Amino acid sequence: MLKTAIKVVVLDITGQYSEHFHDVCPSNVEAAIASQLNDSIAGTLDDNREVDGQAGNFLAFKEAIAKLLGEFMEGDERLLILNPNRFEVSRMEGKPFSGKANLMVRLTVVEITQIISEALLALVQDEFTDEARVCLVLDEAHSLVPEWNSTVHDAETGAVNGTARAILQGRKYGYGCLLITQRTANVTKSILNQCNTIFGLRIYDATGMGFLENYVGASHARLLATLPDRQAVVFGRASSCNAPIIVRLNDADRVRSDLWEPSLTQIPKTSGGSASAATQPEEPGSKTGDDIPF
pLDDT at 275 over 80: no
Q: What is the dihedral of CA 107, 108, 109, 110, to 10 degrees?
A: -100
Nearest to 226 by CA among 251, 203, 200, 199: 203
Continuous segment of H or E residues that includes residue 281:
none
Digit-coded pLDDT (tens) for 114-138: 999 999 999 999 989 989 999 999 9
Nearest to 148 by CA among 190, 183, 117, 106: 190
- Quick one: pLDDT band at residue 47, thresholds 50, 70, 90? very high
Strand partners, 10: 81, 137
Residue type, 146: P
Please give the Cα distance from 11 to 14 (Å, whole number). Answer: 9
Digit-coded pLDDT (tens) for 144-173: 999 988 888 889 999 999 999 999 999 999
pTM score above 0.85: yes
Sign of CA dihedral 115, 125, 78, 250: positive
Q: What is the DSSP letter of 102?
A: E
CA angle 144, 145, 148 (to 5 degrees): 130
Report the percentage of the chain scoring pLDDT > 90: 62
| CA distances from residue 233 to 133, 195, 198, 221 in whole angstroms, order as listed | 27, 15, 8, 8
Q: Where are the domains of the chain?
A: 7-196
**Quick check: helix, strand or coil at residue 135?**
strand
User: Do strands 175-179 and 100-106 pair parallel, antiparallel, or not at all (unpaired)?
Assistant: unpaired
Q: At what angle do helices 154-170 and 109-124 cross, to 10 degrees?
A: 30
